């Protein structure tokens, strides 16, 4: 059986990996939003967000995660998309001024 500290160490490692991936994702999303602004394309693409969430859901299922774990992880990912959209909109607005 693993100790609490061992499990926390695993979480710390995952957090480090997630941090790098989140920064990369934010940077790429910002590039997309800049291109959309130049091309006068609507920033929010609900269909694309639904595709992303479906892909994530499929990945969770392929990992054979429990239903509860899948639901919780999908809720976190949905919150990430929503919050990322909000923060990018603020960032775009700040850069206009």
Domain ranges of the chain: 4-96
Q: How far apart, in whole angstroms, are the C-alpha atoms of residue 25 and residue 75? A: 18
CATH of domain 4-96: 1.20.59.10
- Give pLDDT, residue 93: 82
**Per the confidence metrics, is the pTM higher than 0.85?**
no
Q: What letters, b where the CB count within 10 A reaches 16 and e where it falls short, cover 4-29? A: eeeeeeeeeeeeeeeeeeeeeeeeee
Q: pLDDT tens digits, the chain, 97 residues: what are they? A: 899 999 999 999 999 999 999 999 999 999 998 899 899 998 888 999 999 999 999 998 898 889 999 999 999 999 999 999 898 888 888 887 7
Q: How far is CA 19 from CA 15, 75, 84, 87, 92, in A?
A: 6, 18, 14, 16, 22
């Amino acid at each position: 059986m693993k100790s609490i500290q061992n499990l926390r160490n695993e979480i710390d490692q995952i957090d480090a990996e997630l941090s790098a991936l989140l920064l990369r994702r934010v940077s790429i999303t910002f590039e997309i939003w800049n291109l959309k602004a130049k091309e006068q394309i609507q920033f929010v693409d609900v269909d694309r967000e639904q595709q992303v969430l479906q892909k994530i859901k499929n990945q969770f299922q392929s990992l054979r995660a429990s239903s509860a774990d899948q639901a919780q992880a999908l809720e976190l990912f949905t919150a990430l998309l929503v919050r990322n959209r909000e923060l990018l909109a603020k960032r775009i607005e700040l850069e206009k001024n």
